[in-house]
Amino acid sequence: MKKTLSILLVLILAFSMLAGCGGGKSDSLDVRVTNSSGYTFEQLYVTPTAQNDFGDDLFGSTTILKDGGSFDIKVMKYEFDTYDVRIVDEDDDVYQFSRVSLGDGSEIAISWDNGLVATVTAKDGSSAEFEGVMNPDSEDSGSVADSGGDDGGEQTDSGDGIDYNPMYFTVYNETDYEIHFINITPENIDAPETDILAEKGVLAAGESYVVDANLAGTEYEGTTAWYMYIQDSVGDTSIESQWFTTYDLDYVDIYWDGDAQGYYCEFNYR
């Protein structure tokens, strides 16, 4: 099981808080955005990844960010540190950077390389690069990457013309631990569980993995209802098997519950 804080550590933390002389924790992050893209940015949105709407334009109605300029913003702090950043430029093109890790003192440097690229540098000097997706809301959310070719089985539907065989979604490890097994089991078929991490082997902390398969022609053809169960390198597992459907599934966030001492998943649909 995961190690819990010792009484000594708790006391140390308590005294550390008292030593702060009443200075409370900030509920926001100071972040700087710089623009070296060659374009003018007219709108900026930064929201927690788990939030469904982007809220208000951080530039307001009177501010723009020209090429070569910078702009300081305050971002709401929340439990996890990944955010979605959305830019609208002078041509009304929208670029979105998803699951960007931000901390207090981070800098988001936006540049151009066959599309907008965000280089995020933390206060300690470490950096990560994120590619922007152009006009994300105009993408065909029903499209599925080609994973089965032309030799797949017949289309399986309920009279609505929808092919339920493609299984295409992304899994994000939002914990501090290595995950070694992500087992899925069909709800209504007597079949063994399948480890969707078998090819990758290990999903490290902060990593993601794309599940790309087609069930046509297999014993699972047409199956959309499944259960998911997580196990890590030291044998810690999910709190319970969780039901999900592969139809219209976009991505899965895996979290660790310290109180329950187990993993749980949040399933996000298109």
For 172-182, write each residue's pLDDT tens digit: 999 999 999 99
Map out the domains of the chain as residue ranges: 28-138, 162-269
For 96-137, write each residue's pLDDT tens digit: 988 888 889 999 999 998 889 999 999 999 988 888 888 876
- Please give the CATH number for the structural domain made up of 162-269: 2.60.40.2890
pLDDT of 83 higher than 80:
yes
Whole-number mean pLDDT of the chain? 80
For 151-164, write each residue's pLDDT tens digit: 333 334 444 456 77
Q: Which residue has the higher pLDDT, 25 or 59?
A: 59
Q: Which residue has the higher pLDDT, 122 or 6?
A: 122
Q: Cα(184)–Cα(219) distance, rounded to whole angstroms?
A: 14
pTM of the model: 0.47
- Please give the CATH number for the structural domain made up of 28-138: 2.60.40.2890
Predicted local confidence at residue 18, as pLDDT: 40
pLDDT of 3 higher than 60:
no
Find the mean pLDDT for residues 14-43: 72
Find the mean pLDDT for residues 86-90: 92
- The residue whose two tokens read 């599309």 is 115
Chain centroid, CA 194 distance in Å: 23
Question: Quick check: do 28-138 and 162-269 share a fold?
Answer: yes
Percent of the chain with pLDDT over 70: 80
